[in-house]
Chain A
Amino acid sequence: AQKVTQAQTEISVVEKEDVTLDCVYETRDTTYYLFWYKQPPSGELVFLIRRNSFDEQNEISGRYSWNFQKSTSSFNFTITASQVVDSAVYFCALSEARIQAGTALIFGKGTTLSVSS
């Protein structure tokens, strides 16, 4: 069965600290996609990053970076030099490439990040 686990429910940091959000996933498929979305208080989910199962290269995009390790089924997300505007709920999500799965996203329970000044 497919599952996404975000063990951290809430994280509080002070501005300029680095913060890593953990995500562990389960799937039987060999082809799948992993995502991170951010949900600010306004409610809409905002796409941050995507990775497919065949690309374990870790990258940095501005203040965001991610660490994808298939061996441990983890897809962690790091914000460097956090800012107050980063305060939001962050969701890790999985989608499988099977045709029957369509575009359905399986979400973790989310991690609430609070950044104080």
Chain B
Amino acid sequence: KAGVTQTPRYLIKTRGQQVTLSCSPISGHRSVSWYQQTPGQGLQFLFEYFSETQRNKGNFPGRFSGRQFSNSRSEMNVSTLELGDSALYLCASEAGARSGTEAFFGQGTRLTVV
């Protein structure tokens, strides 16, 4: 069974640009969540999608957005990049709709903003 796949693995962007990250969940999983990991703030929840609907959103500015497609694949977009957006972005997929189940994480996309 294939795991969670995130592409690209590494990305370098310039301030002011926008970026799109992709996540393919485990087959059959309908919940996809995104997290930002930085040395200063640690792991922070960005948003969660279930059946193409955003169910929950963390405390991030509107520059961070996402979507989920009918095949459960998800993308997140960051517009007007800032230096502080440099981080490891992790995607997690879960089989169920409710909390308490095991989340499977991808290896992440390392975004560097210069």
Residue positions of A touching B, CB distance < 8 A: 32-33, 37, 42-47, 50, 52, 91, 95-97, 99-110
Contact = CB atoms under 8 A, between A and B. Distances in A.
Given A43-B108, A45-B90, A91-B43, 18 more contacts: A33-B100, A43-B88, A43-B90, A44-B105, A44-B107, A45-B105, A47-B103, A102-B31, A102-B48, A102-B55, A103-B33, A103-B48, A103-B97, A104-B56, A104-B58, A104-B99, A105-B103, A110-B42
B39 to A, nearest CB: 10
Interface SS of B by simple majority: strand
Contacts of A110: 42-43
A43 B33 CA distance: 16
B104 interface: yes
B106 interface: yes
The size class of the interface chain B forms with chain A is: 20 to 34
Nearest to A109: B42
Contact of B100 (A47, A52, A100): A52
A39 to B, nearest CB: 9
Query: Which 6 A/B pairs are nearest by Cβ-Cβ distance?
Result: A102-B56, A107-B43, A95-B99, A45-B105, A102-B55, A33-B100
B64 interface: no
Contacts of B75: none
Contacts of B103: 45, 47, 103, 105
Contact of A44 (B33, B94, B108, B110): B108
B56 A100 contact: yes
